[in-house]
Chains A and B, each alone.
Chain A
């Protein structure tokens, strides 16, 4: 039983930290803001989820387990929302993606109608 707990939690924690590091490397190497945001948003939330699940397997007390569940729920709820808000604000304020051929059509449509 001990070895099952150690191996499964170790697997989750290592996978989660690998995802976090790869998100950080993506943040540095991707060419454009939107691609970077994609890298960070996805790997951040998933990596955090994995690490928290690994910690939940390791926990002994019920109170610690409940608090970790709350942190996990909060991270899952807040992470994608932040990515959405960031991307929307950047788009409205004029950050243009690199491959902007399809974007100019979208901007033309946006200027014509009044509902975004």
Chain B
């Protein structure tokens, strides 16, 4: 049953990769990478149980954190409209070079 769950998560990861390659916008791809990351966390936890080594859970915690930080980093640095507004003037969008 654990092995069935591992295969299921593996299938979900493949689906995420397909969307990651074929997504029309950038944000589809970021979403696919994020989903891939959370599935990797689950895969590591399951594999740790299947192979009988509970030290893998440390790696799972690290992955969850790194996934979060990477998605936030990607979003911060691929923003095309950077500073949305300043309180002084009325224009709302400044385009970045």
Chain A contacts to B: CB under 8 angstroms: 10, 13-14, 16-18, 20-21, 23-25, 27-28, 33, 36-37, 40, 44-45, 47-48, 51-52, 55, 58-59, 61, 63-64, 67-68, 70-71, 74-75, 78-79, 81-82, 85-86, 89-90, 92-93, 95, 110-111, 114, 116
Contacts and interface: CB of A to CB of B under 8 A. Distances in A.
Nearest to A37: B31
Interface string B72-85: 10010001110011
A107 to B, nearest CB: 10
Contact of B49 (A28, A47, A58): A58
Given A52-B45, A67-B58, A82-B34, A16 B5 contact: yes
Given A20-B9, A37-B31, A48-B38, A13 B1 contact: yes
Task: Please report whether the interface of chain B is mostly helix, strand, loop or mixed according to DSSP.
Answer: helix
A61 B28 contact: no
A63 to B, nearest CB: 7
B51 interface: no
Contacts of A110: 92
- Which of A20, A48, A61, A93 has the largest count of B CB atoms less than 10 A from its CB? A20
Contacts, number: 135
A71 B34 contact: no
Interface in B7-56: 8-9, 11-13, 15-16, 18-19, 25, 27-28, 30-32, 34-35, 38-39, 41-42, 45-46, 49, 54
Nearest to B72: A85
Contacts of A59: 49, 54
A27 B46 CA distance: 23
Contacts of A61: 54
Contacts of A63: 54
Contact of B12 (A24, A36, A79): A24
A65 to B, nearest CB: 10
Contacts of A90: 25, 27
